[in-house]
Amino acid sequence: MTAPTAPADDRELVARALGGHQPSYSALMTRHREAVYRVARHHVGEESEALDVCQETFISAFASLNRFDPERPFRAWLLRIALNKCRDWARRRAVRRLLRMAKPLDDAFDVADEGQDPESSAISATELRRISAAVSALPANLKDPLILCRLEGMSMAEAAQVLGVSEKAVETRIYRARQKLSAILKG
């Protein structure tokens, strides 16, 4: 009787994927998709947009898999790509907002009100959306460490590695993010 084989680690899966073994890349996606989605969801604040960011993240990761440093954790590398895709999304959103404002006034009557219907959800769901919006409104340098450490459960050292800053910078940014969130939620 043979012992069951242990699941391949990320480095092994990357090596196989680089060798053209598609199931290995699929295994990497399956292993990390929830973490990438959570980061994107907390960053962009909208489920459908987060799914788009996830897709862009995995496409970009696959295209640049040959640049992955096997001496570093794959998850950290992948989440760094996800954060960059979130920043790209935020820039595109700012451009879309600017273009919407540039529409003629007559077109504004055809634009649906995107405000939330207060009767459409329970108070807890409303509060969750309010907190999610507050997190999304934070500047990226405060939002990123908060999401990675407090929502994704990364250590400050891991978050520092993903963000390319010191652990002390991560700690300081989380503190500032909490202060800013508190001010946003009180106002």
Predicted confidence (pLDDT) at residue 169 exceeds the cutoff of 60: yes
**Fold category of 7-102 in CATH:** Rna Polymerase Sigma Factor; Chain: A (1.10.1740)
Predicted confidence (pLDDT) at residue 104 exceeds the cutoff of 60: no
- The pLDDT of residue 124 is 62
Structure tokens at 111: 């634009």
Q: How far apart are CA 187 and CA 138, in angstroms?
A: 14
Q: How far apart are CA 107 and CA 87, in angstroms?
A: 29
Q: What is the pLDDT of residues 108-117, one digit of tens each?
A: 555 555 554 4
Buried b (16+ CB within 10 A) or exposed e, 147-180: bbbeebebebebbbbbbebeeebbeebbebbeeb
Q: How confident is the model at residue 135 (pLDDT cuts 50, 70, 90)?
A: confident
Domain ranges of the chain: 7-102, 122-187
What is this structure's pTM? 0.62
Residues present in the chain in total: 187
CATH architecture of 122-187: Orthogonal Bundle (1.10)
Q: How confident is the model at residue 118 (pLDDT cuts 50, 70, 90)?
A: very low
Q: Which residue has the higher pLDDT, 124 or 56?
A: 56
Q: What is the rounded average pLDDT for all residues in the chain?
A: 81
Please report the DSSP string for 47-77 in residue order.
Answer: HHHHHHHHHHHHHHHHHTGGG--TTS-HHHH
- The pLDDT of residue 4 is 47
- The pLDDT of residue 111 is 52
- Residue 20's Cβ-count burial label (10 Å; 0-12, 13-18, 19+) is exposed
φ, ψ of residue 164 to 5 degrees: the values are: 70, 35
Work out the number of other CB atoms within 10 angstroms of the CB of residue 126.
13
